[in-house]
Amino acid sequence: MDWNIGLLGLSIGFGMAIAASVGAISQSRAIWRSVEAIARQPEAGGRIFTAMIIGLALIETLVIYTLLVTGIFLQGTLNKIVDATYLNQGSQTAPDQPGGH
């Protein structure tokens, strides 16, 4: 069961690293393209800026969503690991449950 904890931490770490790096690359490309568009058409700068801000918010929302999903997955899996560890040690319940040791 111990290697599962390490594998879980590794996979969550890689998942968050991929989500953060892809989000950062997407945001930088969005800013780059909108600055180019504003340079070509300065009169449309306000509309381009508004669209860019909305796009950046949606990209960041995806990264935050990944953080929440991995956190929920981590919490659920760690609870199962803790329960299995205490059952293997002969205890009937985990210490945070009523009647635990």
Give me the domains of the chain, ranges plus CATH numbers: 2-88 (1.20.20.10)
- DSSP conformation letters of 10-37: HHHHHHHHHHHHHHHHHHHHHHHHHHHH
In this structure, are residues 49 and 38 in contact, taking their beta carbons and an 8 Å threshold? yes
**So what's the pLDDT on residue 2?**
64
d(CA 83, CA 15): 25
Pair of tokens at residue 101: 């040791």
What's the pTM value of the predicted model, to 2 decimals? 0.66
How many residues comprise the chain?
101
Rg (CA), the chain: 22
The stretches in the chain having pLDDT less than 50 are: 100
Within the chain, what is the greatest distance between any pair of CA atoms? 73
**So what's the pLDDT on residue 28?**
95
